[in-house]
Amino acid sequence: MQTSPSSGITVGVRAAQPSAARFLPLTPQVFQILLAVSDHPVHGYAIIADVAERTHREVRLTASTLYDALARLVDQALLLELDAPPAHATDHDARRRYYALTDLGRDAVRLEAARLQRLLNMARDKNLAPALGRARGRK
């Protein structure tokens, strides 16, 4: 990336991409879906299982909710539907569709995490959330 001396505008590959900020705030379900695919491409059922386990079933995704969200996220270029299973897929079923996080999707989930962190900090400032380093369940 380079900054134009005349305009002060940063130009380059990343500058040409649409801003991820336009997708904020993310719904809890979308945030969890994007987190589920952040490490490597996964199929729908694996996303449902990962979200349920990671959130201790606080966020539940039905198949219809998930696949509607996946279609929307692909349309928004936050996710990419892969044409073939990833190399790590050992239990491949031809009916499974695998999804990967795009750079725009990664930017969106990072911005949402930062937004949530700011909200948590505001609650801490008002003594409405535990301070950092405080053991869970202790007062």
pLDDT digits (tens, 9 = 90+) for 25-68: 999 999 999 999 999 999 999 999 999 999 999 999 999 999 99
Distance (Å, rounded) from C-alpha 1 to C-alpha 11? 6
pLDDT digits (tens, 9 = 90+) for 115-132: 999 999 999 999 999 988
pLDDT > 90 in the chain, percent: 71
* DSSP letter, residue 23: G
Task: Determine phi and psi for 80, rounding to 5 degrees.
Answer: -120, 130
Domain 27-84+93-125 has CATH 1.10.10.10: yes
The structural domains of the chain, with segments of one domain joined by +, span: 27-84+93-125
Distance (Å, rounded) from C-alpha 37 to C-alpha 82? 12
